[in-house]
Amino acid sequence: MSKRVLVTEELADRGLDHMRAAGLDVDIQLGLSPDELLVAIPGAAALIIRSATQVTADVLAAGTDLVVVGRAGIGLDNVDVAAATERGVMVVNAPQSNVISAAEQAVALLLAQARNIPQADRDLKAGKWNRSRWTGVELHGKTLGVVGLGRVGVLVAQRCLAFGMRLVAYDPYVSAERARQLGVELEPDLGALVESVDFLTIHLPKTPETIGLFDAKLLARAKPGLRIVNTARGGIIDEAALADALANGPLGGAAIDVFAVEPTTESPLFALENIVVTPHLGASTREAQDKAGQTIAEMVVLGLAGEFVPFAVNLAASEANATVAPFLPLVERLGRLFTGLAGGVVDTLEVSYEGQIADYDCKVLTLAALKGALGPVVDEPVSFVNAPAIAASRGLEVKESKLAATHDYVNLVELRGSYRGRSTHVAGTLYGKQGSLRIVGIDDHVIDVPPSAHMLVVRNSDVPGIIGKVGMILGDAEINIDDMVVGRTNSGQAALMALSTTTPVTDTVLDALRAEDGITEAKAIELG
């Protein structure tokens, strides 16, 4: 009896034919409601979706025969990957299927905005010959700011070089050498970039740190006449602030393909003449859909055959040694914490294993560290499979070391590296019979705090009253503290606090902390 593959959204014929040729029973049921999906999923060995179908823990529980979930595209926001991993269900995507289409959409919008093409088209079709009204500007000789040098950002940069543009990029997680190879200047300060460029294109992932990044305060710093293009994710630009900056200055124009809420048919942006809008068309090409369908079909066929699956997101986790596997969530969180503290890409990430764990193959843990370190800062899902390639593209070298003996712990995992001459260090271990996750070191300060979704790290002078100030500021902002520990150096100085909070610490609260005498730095880090 052939294995059944449930397809709940449109998939290119090439992909469907590939699965049928492999002997699979392709069951196409489009537009299922959540309740209907729960009825249809039992007995399916694979589920193929795009962006509309929500693969929740309940869906995974109902899919008792499920082996693979395939997302015909890049994003995995609609898949509960953690629940799938817990149930041993492989999750795969098609990470390279739409990058060219997305890059070309960004360039198309850049040109459309520069030359007022949609506005002129609309006027002429309405019987108006307005040559002078829609006079545009050339791209040649202008400065383009590229915010995010992931796959799509790099493709856009390469294409805009051909127009004779000067390229300046903001991406603290790309090395200077990598930027030089791309013909791009790096600008370490996003505000300074906004102040100096003529055009700006956004290619960032949507994370707690990037939501609302382009707010009224940042847009107010824009060079007069700046034109902004966003084909990345909705919500990165505050749409109300954007509308105000377009209507009243300093922005000269914008071209937007993505919105905070989709679908959307009403927005203050739509009434403005100096903006070009499209309904999230970045991946909407025949070629992208064809590649996504073919790629995901190939991954599903490989997964159901028990063969290696190149684009598996959670494959390596299920194959880890039983002794090593419990450390995976700890090490991935250490990677996220490391990136948040470093604030940029280190030349070398040193991962060391001490104690009993050093006797085992820890390569999967090193991949987990990379996955955690890169996940918050790149514009595609990072998996155990693609993490090394993404690290290499950003000039990040990874070194692994082992030491059989450790002084204070049965097992210890440490990450070290330096960015712009400043060293960053994090360490963690598992405690007790339950294997509780603990962060036990930050920048060589000894601490003991469980990793949580929302972390706050404060550096301060070793003077009385700092703990009270931090507690009062968080309390005034109605942010509860779940855990707090004061870290001490080997010499006994208390100059660092690590806190777990119930809700994210906002930029406003961070500014208030940094303004206090005795506090030298405050960073909010989301560990997920």
Domain end: 277, 295, 310, which one?
277
Instruction: Say if residue 183 is in the same domain as residue 78.
Output: no
Whole-angstrom distance, CA of residue 309 vs CA of residue 95: 13
Average pLDDT over residues 16-41: 96
Tell me, yes or no, whether 299 and 430 share the same domain: no
For the domain that residue 75 is a member of, what is the CATH number? 3.40.50.720
Which of 357, 391, 368, 378 lies closest to 315 in space, CA to CA? Answer: 368
Report for 10-19, 176-185, 388-397, 415-424: range of highest mean pLDDT? 10-19
Look at the pTM and tell me if it is higher than 0.85. no
Element (H, E) at 413: strand 411-419
- pLDDT tens digit sequence for 366-385: 988 998 999 888 877 787 77
Reported as a pLDDT band with limits 50, 70 and 90, residue 387 is: confident
For residue range 344-368, what is the model confidence (pLDDT) as tens digits?
878 889 999 999 899 888 988 998 8
Question: What total number of domains does the chain contain?
Answer: 3
Kindly report, residue by residue over 288-316, the tens digit of the pLDDT: 999 999 999 999 999 898 787 878 887 55
Q: What share of the chain in percent tops pLDDT 90?
A: 66
CATH number of the domain bearing residue 504:
3.30.1330.90
Q: Could you tell me which residues come within 8 angstroms of residue 118 by beta carbon, excluding any fewer than 6 positions away?
A: 112, 276
| Residue 320 scores a pLDDT above 70 | no
- With pLDDT > 70 as the criterion, what percentage of the chain qualifies? 98
Residue 179 and residue 254 in one domain = yes
Q: Are residues 85 and 141 in the same domain?
A: no
pLDDT above 90 for 408: no
Distance of CA 336 to the CA centre of its chain: 11
Q: Tell me what the pLDDT averaged over the chain comes to.
A: 91
Mean pLDDT (whole number) for 220-239: 96
CA 445 to chain centre: 29
> Do 183 and 164 sit in the same domain of this protein?
yes
The whole-number pLDDT of residue 490 equals 63
Annotated catalytic residues are 233, 262, 280
Query: Does residue 135 sit in the same domain as residue 269?
Result: yes
pLDDT grade for 318, boundaries at 50, 70 and 90: low
Q: What is the mean pLDDT of residues 74-96?
A: 86
Note whether 371 and 505 are same-domain residues.
Answer: yes
282 found inside a domain: no
Q: What pLDDT score does 317 carry? A: 54
Whether residue 487 is found in the same domain as residue 399: yes
Same domain assignment for residues 503 and 364: yes
What pLDDT shows up at residue 394?
83
300/418: higher pLDDT: 300
Instruction: Read off the pLDDT of each residue in 487-515 and give the average, rounded to a whole number.
Output: 84
Mean pLDDT of 491-513: 85
What would the mean pLDDT of 270-294 be, rounded to a whole number?
94
Q: Which two tokens stand for residue 59?
A: 């869906």
Q: With respect to residue 486, please indicate whether it lies within any of the assigned structural domains.
A: yes
Residues 341 and 424 grouped into a single domain:
yes
User: How confident is the model over 472-492, as a mean pLDDT?
Assistant: 84
At residue 418, the pLDDT reads: 87
The predicted structure's pLDDT at residue 56: 96
Nearest to 37 by CA among 18, 57, 23, 19: 57
For residue 399, the enclosing domain spans 325-526
- Please tell me the distance from the alpha carbon of residue 378 to that of residue 118, in angstroms, as a whole number: 31
Q: For 170-197, how does the pLDDT look when each residue is reduced to its tens digit (9 = 90+)?
A: 998 888 888 999 999 999 999 999 999 9
pLDDT band (50, 70, 90) for residue 323: confident
State whether 315 and 399 are in the same domain: no
For residue 433, the 8-state DSSP code is T
Is the same domain home to 307 and 249?
no
pLDDT band per the 50, 70, 90 thresholds, residue 514: very high
Radius of gyration of the chain (CA): 25
Range of weakest confidence among 153-167, 247-261, 398-412: 398-412
- Residue 319 has what pLDDT? 58
- In this structure, which amino acid lies at residue 293? G
How far, in Å, are 100, 165, 203, 251, 475 from residue 157 at the CA level? 12, 9, 11, 22, 45
